[in-house]
Amino acid sequence: MPDALAPTMTGTLLAIRDLEAWYGESHVLHGVSIDIRPGEVVTLLGRNGAGKTSTLRAIMGLTGRRKGSIVFEGRETIRMSPDAIGRAGIGYCPEERGIFASLDVTENLMLPPRVRDGGLDIPTIHALFPNLKERARSPGTKLSGGEQQMLAIARILRTGAPLLLLDEPTEGLAPVIVQQIGAMIREIKQRGFTVLLVEQNFRFAQTVADRHYVMEHGRVVDAVENSEMAGSLDRLHAYLGV
Amino acid sequence: MLEDFLFQVEMAAPQIVLGLVNGAFYALLSLGLAVIFGMLNVINFAHGAQFMMGAFVAWMLLNWLGIPYWGALILSPLIVGAFGVVLERLMISRLYKLDHLYGLLLTFGLALIIEGVFRNTFGSSGLPYAPPASLTGAPVDLGFMLLPKYRLWVVVAAFVTCIATWLVIEKTRLGAYLRAATENAPLVQAFGVNVPRMITLTYAAGVGLAALAGVLAAPIYSVNPAMGSNFIITVFAVVVIGGMGSILGSVITGFGLGLVEGLTRVVYPEASATVIFVIMAIVLLARPAGLFGRA
């Protein structure tokens, strides 16, 4: 790991140390350490099964047993329940998007309780995502994949949570929608939110992120500044097998 | 011919209205079961015992503390609901990750224990519970029949309770949490909602609905330890026909099957006790998820 990226405790929003996690008997994370500073967009890159999604789920307390340390805004959260972690100010957008079929679009949007001031209000959200206004009364899962992704992100922008965990928001979407999601993530960053993004597509990651962590076999094996991305392509190709 | 038909209708109407009274209990009980199943994935076999407890608590409130019917209508569901909180926290919550069958077996065992305790304490002959003075007296003339005031009250109270429950679930923020948690409880919890507490209170609410039905039933049926098990077998048939976990389905099916039962009593009285089970068999063959259930 390059020295410039060595974790520093000062000014970190989220500091993860030696995080281990299990699903039942299956040991999925073997000591993950990550630091995120306020206002950054940081990606977790890696192949399928490397532990990216499990890392996000472990931060939210949604895996089984967890070990290690996850300090968010100076508070240790490793022993907190998922609802306490959510209320502490971490917004979660899961891989399968988690749009509820029995709730309409507005109900989906309003579902996560506000955890703090500073979230986007509804007019701002409707200005950013006009489709969500047009289709306010449709069942959530009748939206297109791209619209569902927008909804999944919009609803956590509303809550005021300063840290957003986005799990593969571009998965399965058409290139033009992927571009919109990219623009949206840059807009979120502009507004001062901090984002931890799981991605398989490092070309997309390159267009939105400040830094990248590479995961393999449940560990962080490398870290790359976005500015060094071009010079590190061979290394990344080797990790990601692309 | 027409006169013949009118005569038939006149004969049938009282039975149909009485069927509606039974239907009111089917609807209230299957509604509670649906609420519990939707949220906990547990088939609450103790529902009949909790219905019986509701009636007994009303009797105890009146005879031991002098609290009349209207007080019992509120207090009994709260007391039995609190008992539900204890059951859920201590026992049922340990079974959520297992197959439905374990929850069913546990609650069935609980039902037997609760009934046994009440039989040992109060005997099995049944205790009288008079309807409140304001609902006795001259029956209401519906034009084609005289209906005791109390039975009319039961139908209205059950209907209003069902509609109110449905409104809470479909139209409020709390209801949105419940529906969302039914689909994906971990995600709702990660949004900051205390889902375990919500599950406990949902069980308590379902149990409270059973107890409310029990208080409503106390003046009609004698208060006895078996009153729940007499009802609950039919109610499970109603739930199967309506579709497990469907709120509106359980209400419509409850009232509907009460009517069908009443109608059968006119047309072919011998079949009135079995008609619901025949319908259940047909529905299971034709639409295994139930009339309103999602496959």
CA angle B34, B110, B106 (to 5 degrees): 70
DSSP state of B133: G
For chain A, say whether B89 makes contact (Cβ under 8 Å): no
Surface-to-core class of residue B167, CB atoms within 10 Å of its CB (0-12 exposed, 13-18 middle, 19+ buried):
exposed
Q: What residues of chain A lie within 8 A of the CB of B189, using their CB?
A: 81-83, 86
The conformational region for residue A73 under phi > 0 = left, psi -120 to 50 = alpha, else beta, is left
Kindly provide the ipTM of the predicted complex, given to two decimals. 0.90
DSSP state of B127: B
Helix B47-65 to helix B227-242 angle (10° resolution) is: 140
In single-letter form, the type of residue at position B29 comes to L
Show me where the domains of chain B are located: 18-116+133-225
pLDDT confidence of residue A7: 45
Candidates A86, A102, A107; nearest CB to B191: A86
What is the mean pLDDT of the segment spanning B28-50?
A: 92
8 Å CB contact of A112 and B184: no
CA atoms within 13 A on the CB side of A39: 4
- What is d(CA A12, CA A111) in angstroms, rounded to the nearest whole number? 29
Candidates B184, B192, B194; nearest CB to A112: B192
Percent of chain A with pLDDT over 90: 76
B177 closest CA partner among B163, B191, B166, B164: B191
For chain B, say whether A92 makes contact (Cβ under 8 Å): yes
8 Å CB contact of A112 and B189: no
pLDDT confidence of residue A193: 95
For chain B, say whether A53 makes contact (Cβ under 8 Å): no
Tokens at residue A83, please? 């609802």
A12-50 in b/e burial notation, b at 16+ Cβ within 10 A?
bbbbbbebbbbeeeeebbeebbbbbbeebbbbbbbbeeb
What is the mean pLDDT of the segment spanning B138-164?
A: 89
pLDDT confidence of residue B195: 95
What is the mean pLDDT of the segment spanning A58-86?
A: 95
In single-letter form, the type of residue at position B55 comes to A
Lowest mean pLDDT among A217-231, B2-16, B118-132, B224-238: B2-16
SS (H, E, C) chain A: CCHHHCCCCCCCCEEEEEEEEEECCEEEEEEEEEEECCCCEEEEEECCCCCHHHHHHHHHCCCCCEEEEEEECCEECCCCCHHHHHHHCEEEECCCCCCCCCCEHHHHHHCCCCCCCCCCCHHHHHHHCHHHHHCCCCEHHHCCHHHHHHHHHHHHHCCCCCEEEEECCCCCCCHHHHHHHHHHHHHHHHCCCEEEEECCCHHHHHHHCCEEEEEECCEEEEEEEHHHCHHHHHHHHHHHCC
Q: What residues of chain B lie within 8 A of the CB of A82, using their CB?
A: 186, 189-190
What is the mean pLDDT of the segment spanning B28-38?
A: 92
Q: What residues of chain A lie within 8 A of the CB of B176, using their CB?
A: 103, 107, 110-111
- Is residue B83's pLDDT more than 50? yes
For chain A, say whether B192 makes contact (Cβ under 8 Å): yes
For chain A, say whether B184 makes contact (Cβ under 8 Å): yes
- Which residue is closest to B187 within chain A, CA to CA? A98
8 Å CB contact of A86 and B190: yes
- Which residue is closest to A60 within chain B, CA to CA? B190
- What is d(CA A216, CA A203) in angstroms, rounded to the nearest whole number? 19
- Which residue is closest to A94 within chain B, CA to CA? B187
- Is residue A4's pLDDT more than 80? no
Q: Residues 118 to 177 of B: which have CB under 8 A from any A CB?
A: 173, 176-177
Residues in chain A, total: 242
8 Å CB contact of A102 and B180: yes
For chain A, say whether B180 makes contact (Cβ under 8 Å): yes
A166 closest CA partner among A177, A175, A154: A154
Does the A3-240 domain belong in CATH 3.40.50.300? yes
pLDDT confidence of residue A242: 62
What is the mean pLDDT of the segment spanning B55-62?
A: 96
8 Å CB contact of A82 and B186: yes
Distance in Å, alpha carbon of A11 to nearest chain B alpha carbon? 25
- What is d(CA A34, CA A228) in angstroms, rounded to the nearest whole number? 18
pLDDT confidence of residue A9: 47
- Is residue A197's pLDDT more than 50? yes
Candidates B182, B189, B191; nearest CB to A111: B191
User: What is the sign of the dihedral through the CA atoms of A86, A117, A36 and A233?
Assistant: positive
- What is d(CA A223, CA B254) in angstroms, rounded to the nearest whole number? 62
pLDDT tens readout for residues B185-214: 999 999 999 999 999 999 999 999 999 999
- What is d(CA B79, CA A223) in angstroms, rounded to the nearest whole number? 59
What is the mean pLDDT of the segment spanning A98-122?
A: 93
8 Å CB contact of B191 and A92: yes
For chain A, say whether B189 makes contact (Cβ under 8 Å): yes
pLDDT tens readout for residues A168-177: 999 989 999 9
- What is d(CA A77, CA A179) in angstroms, rounded to the nearest whole number? 34
Q: How confident is the model at residue A6 (pLDDT cuts 50, 70, 90)?
A: very low
pLDDT tens readout for residues A7-36: 444 589 999 999 999 998 999 999 999 999
- Is residue A105's pLDDT more than 50? yes
A156-168 in b/e burial notation, b at 16+ Cβ within 10 A?
bbbbbbbbbbbbb
Provide the mean pLDDT of chain B: 91
Q: What residues of chain B lie within 8 A of the CB of A98, using their CB?
A: 184, 187
Lowest mean pLDDT among A14-28, B61-75, B142-156: B142-156
8 Å CB contact of A102 and B186: no
Show me where the domains of chain A are located: 3-240
8 Å CB contact of B187 and A92: yes
pLDDT tens readout for residues B236-272: 999 889 887 788 888 999 999 999 999 898 888 888 8
Distance in Å, alpha carbon of A8 to nearest chain B alpha carbon? 28
Q: What residues of chain B lie within 8 A of the CB of A84, using their CB?
A: 192
- Which residue is closest to A95 within chain B, CA to CA? B187
Highest mean pLDDT among A127-131, A157-161, B147-151: A157-161
Percent of chain B with pLDDT over 70: 97
- Is residue B9's pLDDT more than 80? no
pLDDT tens readout for residues B275-293: 999 999 999 999 888 888 7
